[in-house]
Chain A
């Protein structure tokens, strides 16, 4: 039986192949969720999946794409929005 603290799902589980040939279960900290587009729900690119403490260490440019609505909308939705604005 694993230790009681490892029996919950607060840690994610990773199977690692050991040099001896066995596969071993390792426990790692959970990853943060991926960023999603606020309009269409697509997975956003250019946003690192790091723990909040690590995100704090990153520079602003490393956290999201440096364009309007970067880190909030996907490029397709952003372009649609910009076209709507230009035509209005």
Chain B
């Protein structure tokens, strides 16, 4: 009953009730299964065979299984793995202290510099704006 190409229904676990096909026979108790379920090793006791069979090669790829399932009218939801995001690296211990030390003086240096720049730009902005506007009008 349990041969390659036999369609089964999983009766245990989170994939219970989903249809699958035996792709490979691993040993007396275990088979490799693919289809609506995740491609995985599966205990025969967790499978209920159905009358239908598919012609499949041993160790057939997921694409081959999916195309055969389409012919039977069984839909397979493709599960795409999400692209891995880079996690923000946690800084601990000595590195953190060093970074804090390095970060503080920079801020204190920048703050007065910014203030000075701001004043200058305000003063300069007024003077600059007038010629710029006139230049646009002339064009």
Chain A residue total in the interface (Cβ 8 A): 11
Closest Cβ of chain A: how far from B40's Cβ, in Å? 15
Q: Which of B11, B14, B50 has the most CB of A within 10 A?
A: B11
Verify if B105 is at the interface (C-beta below 8 Å from A).
no
Verify if B64 is at the interface (C-beta below 8 Å from A).
no
Residues of B within 8 A of A78 (CB): 11, 16
Interface residues of B in 1-57 (CB under 8 A from A): 9-14, 16-17, 48, 50
Looking at chain B's contact residues, is the secondary structure mostly helix, strand, loop, or mixed?
A: loop
Residues of A within 8 A of B13 (CB): 67
Asked if A86 and B9 make an inter-chain contact with CB atoms under 8 angstroms apart, the answer reads: yes
Looking at chain A's contact residues, is the secondary structure mostly helix, strand, loop, or mixed?
A: helix
Q: Which of A66, A68, A83, A87 has the most CB of B within 10 A?
A: A68
Question: Which B residues contact A (CB, under 8 angstroms)?
Answer: 9-14, 16-17, 48, 50
Residues of A within 8 A of B17 (CB): 68, 82, 85
Asked if A79 and B12 make an inter-chain contact with CB atoms under 8 angstroms apart, the answer reads: yes
Q: Top 5 A-B pairs ranked by shortest CB distance? A: A86-B9, A82-B11, A86-B48, A79-B11, A67-B14
Question: Which A residues contact B (CB, under 8 angstroms)?
Answer: 66-68, 75, 78-79, 82-83, 85-87
Residues of A within 8 A of B9 (CB): 82, 85-86
Asked if A83 and B11 make an inter-chain contact with CB atoms under 8 angstroms apart, the answer reads: yes
Complex CA–CA separation, A5 to B50 (angstroms): 62
**Given A83-B11, A86-B9, A68-B16 contact (CB < 8 Å):** yes
Inter-chain pairs besides A75-B12, A82-B16, A86-B50, 6 sampled, C-beta below 8 Å: A68-B16, A78-B16, A82-B9, A82-B17, A83-B48, A85-B9
